Amino acid sequence: MNTGQYILSVLKDQGRSQVWLADKLGVHEKTFSNKLRRNSITGDELLKIAKLLNIDLEKLKNEI
């Protein structure tokens, strides 16, 4: 599992959408979808996503 897949999994578990998260990050939904698919999320984006979705970064590290 890569970071993008993990984020999608958390979104699904929380009943949230990629569109919701893209909006919270201030990124166009297509751009965000491409970032997840290509696994090209920056460190800053990952920190923001972790905060928004309450992701434990240590758990994320162990999952990927």
- Which residue pairs, CB below 8 angstroms and at least 24 apart, start in 50-57? 52/21, 52/24, 52/25, 53/7, 53/10, 53/11, 53/14, 53/16, 53/21, 55/7, 55/10
Work out the pLDDT band at 61, boundaries 50, 70, 90.
confident
Q: What is the pLDDT of residue 47?
A: 93
Work out the pLDDT band at 54, boundaries 50, 70, 90.
very high
| Predicted TM-score of the model (pTM) | 0.86
If you average pLDDT over residues 30-58, what whole number do you get?
A: 92
Domains in the chain (CATH in brackets) are: 3-54 (1.10.260)
Work out the pLDDT band at 49, boundaries 50, 70, 90.
very high
Picking from 44, 42, 22, the residue whose alpha carbon sits closest to that of residue 31 is 22
19-28 pLDDT, tens digit each = 999 999 999 9
